[in-house]
Structure 1
Amino acid sequence: MLAFTPGEPAGIGPDLAVMIAQEKTAQDLLVFADPDVLLTRAKALNLTLKITEKESTTGANTLCVYPIKTADRVVAGELNENNTGYVLNTLDLATQYCLNKKVQALITGPLHKGIINQANIYQDKNGDGFTGHTEYLAEKSNTDKTVMMLATEGLRVALATTHIPLSQVSKHIQTDSLRETLSIVHHSLQSYGLKNPKIVVCGLNPHAGEEGYLGSEEIEIINPLIAKLNAQGFNLVGSVPADTAFTVDALQGVDCVLAMYHDQGLPVLKTLGFKKAVNVTLGLPFIRTSVDHGTALNLAGTGNISMGSLHTAIQYAKDIINYA
């Protein structure tokens, strides 16, 4: 069984759950959600939906649901901060199922960071607000370091930093944290069957610093670390200017690209594979994959959505399970 948390109830997460129920794939899912929200959304979509709490069901149009009630009525397309506790509750319970090995992986649907922070119901150990699934699941599983990686056909992109302002990126590119990140990416890819994964490491600055004229992080931190890790058996290339790292020729034989910040690498990947890409959290004590899109509030309840990313997230999780 795979746990599935649909995320923000006013978004397209419930639509994804209802629509996947029309497929055979649904028999592998345990959905952590409010059954009433799913049934209401199914009615809006004019689709048949049956709810059961019995796992491994094979019935047509049926979802196995771990029932969790929302605090307030859900209206498709309308955010309600009263229901943010419900969203975090689904994640908490699904995480415990993963840690207790009652399910083999967690698939997450899109949530809305803004409404969770607006509700002011969560602070991390540093006193900061909610920054995303990756950081939240790390804290809930007592994991010191995780890495966000997105993948689509022909390209994997991991991130040295995730959901932080651009003005703070440079101070987070430090030797120790970057070493941890590269180690997690390297060993995770090995666990996926790549014996000697080739990882391209982007520079932080334009032209990878231009020998120090456009920034010093490459000379002082990134390049020396690459040399040390390669001496230990890693297969790292870089630092490479980000504006050339993603060309067809540069990606030949590359297993993953490490971008220094969120919008350095993900626009390229999403241009290549939007609606058929998957978000993977590396370093957790369980497998977690996610859709690569947001809540799409304006599309909730319309049925005018793509299932491609959810299919990819499910298949990617199964592939990791089967290899392990």
Structure 2
Amino acid sequence: MTRPPLVITMGDPAGIGPEIVAKAFAAGKAPDCVVAGSPSVMKRAVQLAGADLAIRETASFEEGRPEPGVINVLPVSQDAECVPLGKVSAAGGRAAFEAVITAIDLAKTGRASGIVTAPINKEALFSAGLTYPGHTEILAECAGVERVAMMLANDEIRTVLVTIHLSLHDAIKSADFSAQMDAIRLAQSACLDLGIAAPRIAVAGLNPHAGEGGLFGREEIEIISPAINAARAEGIDVTGPWPGDTVFMAARRGKFDVVVAQYHDQGLIPVKYLGVETGVNITLGLPFVRTSPDHGTAFDIAGQGVADAASLSTAIAYAHRLAATRRTSEEAA
């Protein structure tokens, strides 16, 4: 069976999202993709990118048949047309949100094989009265799932987060036994979807030196180790807790396929240090595929034509790969 196209959201129209989308199409890195966004914003982006591309406004997602030299755009917002580049605005936040909601509906109903999201700006969302910390929370709410996890991946390491957009104080409280188990299980299933037949999972400790036997905290003893033991009883190859300052080096050298990190910065700093150009964000636990580039809206360079589309192109490739795996599994069932 032929898979339906992916849907790419344009992101905040004031940021680099539309530009990198245009560049991905121009480089041939966006096969079988339709953009949810504003045709006029995408026309501006094509001009910024210096690309020889035509914008085709479609009346429906299904009309967006892929064609070389053409970006099919499903219009989802009128607010985007008046948004100035490089500035936070309620109109920009609202337009970005509407594109995401449209994409979610397409993916939930099976009309799109997955979602690739260009960056949104949290301040712009809040300006529009949309109190979401980011894409992940919007996706979870609209998909009707309670537990999701973020996987950040590049060519060298992968990490799955136990907690995501929380203060460090709240993250520590939220990294309970249930959250540990969810993250470990989602890390296992994500690796299988990526074609890793026997995933080797490492769990990072929360405290320095993974607690040093209780000297620097007892979360490793009372919460994390029991979750690891329970996951091992389920047949998952998971070890730890490992010190957070060394476990990523071991993963990079090939000892582990994925690291479960306890909080946002513990997991994201190692991946982003290796370069956001090749990093990709994958949301785990959703009933559909979602990926995104590993960077933000970059308002400071918006409109200059210098944005790098490499991370978005990688996100598109991952989405195609994951969608193909899911389709194969569904057909086998």
What's the TM-score, normalizing by structure 2? 0.90
User: Does the alignment pair 1:302 with 2:289?
Assistant: no
* Equivalent residue number for residue 182 of structure 2: 180
Q: Deviations over 1:71-107 (max 9, x none)?
A: 2602111221133222111111110100111111100
User: Does the alignment pair 1:19 with 2:28?
Assistant: no
Query: Judging changes above 3 Å, is the alpha-carbon distance between structure 1 residues 80 and 205 closer, same or farther for their aligned structure 2 residues?
Result: same
Q: In structure 1, what is the Cα distance between the partners aligned to 2:250 and 2:206?
A: 21
* Equivalent residue number for residue 267 of structure 2: 265
Letter in 2 for 1:56: R
Query: Judging changes above 3 Å, is the alpha-carbon distance between structure 1 residues 199 and 248 closer, same or farther for their aligned structure 2 residues?
Result: closer
Letter in 2 for 1:170: I
Q: Percent identity?
A: 34
Q: Please, which moves more after superposition, 107-116 or 23-32?
A: 23-32
* Equivalent residue number for residue 143 of structure 2: 141
**Could you tell me how far 1:194 is from its partner in structure 2?**
2.4
Letter in 2 for 1:98: A
Query: Judging changes above 3 Å, is the alpha-carbon distance between structure 1 residues 26 and 207 closer, same or farther for their aligned structure 2 residues?
Result: closer
**Could you tell me how far 1:70 is from its partner in structure 2?**
3.3
Match 2:113 to one of 86, 92, 104: 104
* Equivalent residue number for residue 213 of structure 1: 215
Task: Report matched runs for 1:164-243 at 5 Å.
Answer: 164-243=166-245
| Divergent runs of 4+, >6 A | none
Match 2:55 to one of 51, 54, 58: 51
Query: Judging changes above 3 Å, is the alpha-carbon distance between structure 1 residues 227 and 250 closer, same or farther for their aligned structure 2 residues?
Result: farther
Q: Please, which moves more after superposition, 50-59 or 233-242?
A: 50-59
Q: In structure 2, what is the Cα distance between the partners aligned to 1:229 and 1:20?
A: 40
* Equivalent residue number for residue 126 of structure 1: none
Query: Judging changes above 3 Å, is the alpha-carbon distance between structure 1 residues 222 and 64 closer, same or farther for their aligned structure 2 residues?
Result: same
Where structure 1 has 5 or more consecutive residues not aligned to the other structure, the ranges are 123-128
Query: Judging changes above 3 Å, is the alpha-carbon distance between structure 1 residues 59 and 251 closer, same or farther for their aligned structure 2 residues?
Result: closer
User: Does the alignment pair 1:32 with 2:32?
Assistant: no
**Could you tell me how far 1:292 is from its partner in structure 2?**
0.3
Query: Judging changes above 3 Å, is the alpha-carbon distance between structure 1 residues 296 and 249 closer, same or farther for their aligned structure 2 residues?
Result: closer
* Equivalent residue number for residue 78 of structure 2: 70
Task: Report matched runs for 1:266-281 at 5 Å.
Answer: 266-281=268-283
Q: In structure 1, what is the Cα distance between the partners aligned to 2:268 and 2:321?
A: 23
Where structure 2 has 5 or more consecutive residues not aligned to the other structure, the ranges are 327-333
Q: Deviations over 1:27-66 (max 9, x none)?
A: 4111001101111233344434312224223132x10110
Q: In structure 2, what is the Cα distance between the partners aligned to 1:59 and 1:246?
A: 41
Question: SS of the residue aligned with 2:29?
Answer: helix
**Could you tell me how far 1:186 is from its partner in structure 2?**
1.4
Q: In structure 2, what is the Cα distance between the partners aligned to 1:249 and 1:106?
A: 28
**Is the 8 Å Cα contact of residues 149 and 157 (structure 1) preserved in structure 2?**
yes
Q: In structure 2, what is the Cα distance between the partners aligned to 1:22 and 1:154?
A: 27
Q: In structure 1, what is the Cα distance between the partners aligned to 2:295 and 2:155?
A: 16
**Is the 8 Å Cα contact of residues 30 and 313 (structure 2) preserved in structure 1?**
no
**Is the 8 Å Cα contact of residues 21 and 312 (structure 2) preserved in structure 1?**
no
Q: In structure 2, what is the Cα distance between the partners aligned to 1:141 and 1:215?
A: 36
Q: Deviations over 1:235-290 (max 9, x none)?
A: 11100010111224774231100110011121111111321110000110001010
**Is the 8 Å Cα contact of residues 251 and 258 (structure 2) preserved in structure 1?**
no
Q: In structure 2, what is the Cα distance between the partners aligned to 1:166 and 1:93?
A: 32
* Equivalent residue number for residue 113 of structure 1: 122
**Is the 8 Å Cα contact of residues 275 and 308 (structure 1) preserved in structure 2?**
yes
Q: Please, which moves more after superposition, 9-18 or 246-255?
A: 246-255
Letter in 2 for 1:167: H
Q: Deviations over 1:127-168 (max 9, x none)?
A: xx3111111101101011111000000210110000111121
**Is the 8 Å Cα contact of residues 27 and 56 (structure 1) preserved in structure 2?**
no
Match 1:3 to one of 7, 31, 41: 7
What's the TM-score, normalizing by structure 1? 0.93
Letter in 1 for 2:204: C
Letter in 2 for 1:213: L
Query: Judging changes above 3 Å, is the alpha-carbon distance between structure 1 residues 170 and 107 closer, same or farther for their aligned structure 2 residues?
Result: same
* Equivalent residue number for residue 313 of structure 1: 315
**Is the 8 Å Cα contact of residues 291 and 319 (structure 2) preserved in structure 1?**
yes
Letter in 2 for 1:68: V
**Could you tell me how far 1:26 is from its partner in structure 2?**
3.6
User: Does the alignment pair 1:131 with 2:139?
Assistant: no
Q: In structure 2, what is the Cα distance between the partners aligned to 1:294 and 1:249?
A: 26
**Could you tell me how far 1:299 is from its partner in structure 2?**
1.2
